[in-house]
Amino acid sequence: MANAGCGFRLSLRVYIEDTDAGGIVYYVNYLKYMERARTEFMRSLGFDKTTIFEQERLFVVHRVEADYHLPAVLDDALEISASPVRVGRAYVDFRQSVYRGDALLCEAVIRVVCLAKASRKPSAIPPFVRDKLLQHR
């Protein structure tokens, strides 16, 4: 995946709490960074968590396919991208990447599923949310 044209981007700094004893970012923290980028992407579209909850819906991660290429280390400045690449009736596949400058550190495709809040079963993404996501593919 190329650095250019990656959709929404979030800048983050690596702190000591993100690293292991060797000063390298612990692998699961890349998923946390990607979660933040997806959340801020949705917020940029006008859908904060309250808006989604008001629709009696939840968005939960269903699948993650990640490739780790290079390590991030303490104090690195990172750019995390989030771009919907497939929008189904009740799911969204996001392509996400973590960069340090032009160096690709990690990339993933993350499937997020829409659930009905009460039943916790798959439910259609509200049309006004789905339409916005389709505009940003």
Which residues make beta-bridge pairs with 99? 79, 104
For residue range 56-106, what is the model confidence (pLDDT) as tens digits?
A: 999 999 999 999 999 999 999 999 999 999 999 999 999 999 999 999 999
Residues 6 and 27 sit within 8 Å (Cβ to Cβ): no
Which pLDDT does position 14 carry in this prediction? Answer: 98
Which pLDDT does position 10 carry in this prediction? Answer: 98
Which pLDDT does position 129 carry in this prediction? Answer: 94
pLDDT at position 4 over 90:
no
Q: In 10 A of CB 42, how many CB atoms?
A: 23
Residues 8 and 82 sit within 8 Å (Cβ to Cβ): yes
Total domains in the chain come to 1
Of 91, 24, 26, 36, nearest to 63 by C-alpha is: 91
**64 within domain boundaries:** yes
For residue range 30-57, what is the model confidence (pLDDT) as tens digits?
A: 999 999 999 999 999 999 878 777 889 9
Mean per-residue pLDDT over the chain, rounded? 93
Residue 30 is part of a domain; what is its CATH number? 3.10.129.10
**98 within domain boundaries:** yes
Chain CA centroid to CA 121, Å: 21
**103 within domain boundaries:** yes
**3 within domain boundaries:** no
Residues 8 and 37 sit within 8 Å (Cβ to Cβ): yes
**2 within domain boundaries:** no
Q: Which residue has the tokens 């690195």?
A: 76
Evaluate if pTM is beyond 0.85: yes
- Residue 46: which domain range? 8-135
**58 within domain boundaries:** yes
Q: Let me know if 20 is a catalytic residue.
A: yes
pLDDT at position 3 over 60:
no
Mean pLDDT to the nearest integer, 15-23: 95
- Could you say which of 18, 20, 76, 93 is catalytic? 20
| C-alpha distance from residue 107 to each of 29, 30, 82, 99 (Å) | 13, 9, 10, 9
**113 within domain boundaries:** yes
Q: Which residue has the higher pLDDT, 3 or 6?
A: 6
Q: Sorting pLDDT into bands at 50, 70 and 90, what band is 137?
A: confident
Give the list of residues 6+ apart from residue 85 with CB closer than 8 angstroms, or none: 93, 94, 95, 109, 137
Which pLDDT does position 6 carry in this prediction? Answer: 61
